[in-house]
Amino acid sequence: MTETELKNLLKTVAPPDEAARAAAHAHWAALAKPLGGLGQLETMVEAAAALTGDPAPDFTRRAVLVLCADNGVVAQGVSQTDASVTRAVLENLTARRTSVCCMAAAAHCEVVPVDMGIAGVPVPGAVDCRVAPGTRDFTQGPAMTREQAVQAIAAGIELVRTQKQNGVRLLATGEMGIGNTTTSSAVAAVLLGCPAAEMTGRGAGLSDEGLHRKIHAIERGIAVNHPNAADPLGVLAALGGFDIAGLCGVFLGGALEKIPVIMDGFISGVAALCAVRLCPAAAKAVFASHASSEPAARLVLDALHKKPLITADLHLGEGTGAVASLPLWDMALAVYNHCYSFTEGGIAPYTPQC
């Protein structure tokens, strides 16, 4: 896919189906409970109805896409561990032994490990979407070419199409890549116009010295590459990772295929922000799960105009926060589909008082 083909494809994203949203809202109002009593759980189902065009959506089949990639900026000492850990975690993802695998089993969710570009040979059992064996060090020049960014985005879109063909109707996003809180902070700093220090956290537990190196690396990357916030694809290519670019494509794919996509924490939130900057209409497919403890996570949520379902100081990654929200989807739909109505209960319905 070329950049022009991507732009033309994104022009086909339709607006939300407001009739389906209104029908879902009316269904909630008919149930024997206080109006809006389930708060965000109600508006979440309404938004999903508007996205899918179906006032009675079925999300029984769901999967978490865990996109993995190595990042060249790790050479600047921005993480506690080296890139070999990316491969080790991907291998354990394919063996279904990691944190998100345990949580996904409890939430009746499939786990789909994806290799977007890690060092070394491919990992058996991972979906092969490799763009290159990791990005370049963005303190020395662009992390990837624009063509590679488009390739990664296209791969994310195709992942959604494949999952839809397999019967999946709800997707959660996850990632794994040593150094990707650095790439995410760098992209977010440019897109939100904020200083690197405000957007950068300790990731997986950096010391004060490590945090200083991380901030300095981001500042150097921005100074070297001169990214333009008005060109989100250029920002992604200059400072991002293959995992973020792929996740950007997943959110765009959700909008194109009318599949809700639950963003995990800060990293997938930055990917969603890239998607919405590329295609504002794609916001309809983005559903927030939790408020990460990363410093800039709330800023990204605010920029996306999304409210998290969970506030639990999660910052593990892999899609654990997104998967943790799935039982709330199940409970919301259980009430939506099975609660008795005012008419069935012989109760006078509530009416709005304001």
Q: What local confidence, expressed as pLDDT, does residue 287 receive?
A: 98
Q: Which residue has the higher pLDDT, 208 or 259?
A: 259
Q: Domain holding 8: CATH number?
A: 1.10.1610.10
Identify the active-site residue in 147, 198, 318, 344: 318
Same domain, residue pair 272 and 200: yes
When pLDDT is cut at 50, 70 and 90, the band that residue 353 belongs to is low
pTM for the full model?
A: 0.96
Same domain, residue pair 141 and 180: yes
Same domain, residue pair 239 and 158: yes
Per cent of the chain over pLDDT 90 is 87
Respond yes or no: is residue 158 known to be catalytic.
Answer: no
Q: What local confidence, expressed as pLDDT, does residue 24 receive?
A: 98
Residue 352 located in a structural domain: no
81-116 per-position pLDDT tens digit:
888 999 999 999 999 999 999 999 999 999 999 999
Same domain, residue pair 340 and 318: no
Q: Which structural domain range is residue 95 located in?
A: 62-330
Same domain, residue pair 46 and 149: no
Q: Which residue has the higher pLDDT, 245 or 315?
A: 245
* Residue 228 reports pLDDT greater than 70: yes
Q: What local confidence, expressed as pLDDT, does residue 70 receive?
A: 98
Same domain, residue pair 49 and 66: no
172-226 per-position pLDDT tens digit:
999 999 999 999 999 999 999 999 988 887 766 677 776 788 899 999 999 999 9
Same domain, residue pair 51 and 70: no
Same domain, residue pair 85 and 228: yes
Mean pLDDT of 273-278: 98
Distance CA 17, CA 25 (A): 13
Q: Domain holding 309: CATH number?
A: 3.40.50.10210
Same domain, residue pair 39 and 185: no
Q: What local confidence, expressed as pLDDT, does residue 203 receive?
A: 67
Domain count along the chain = 2
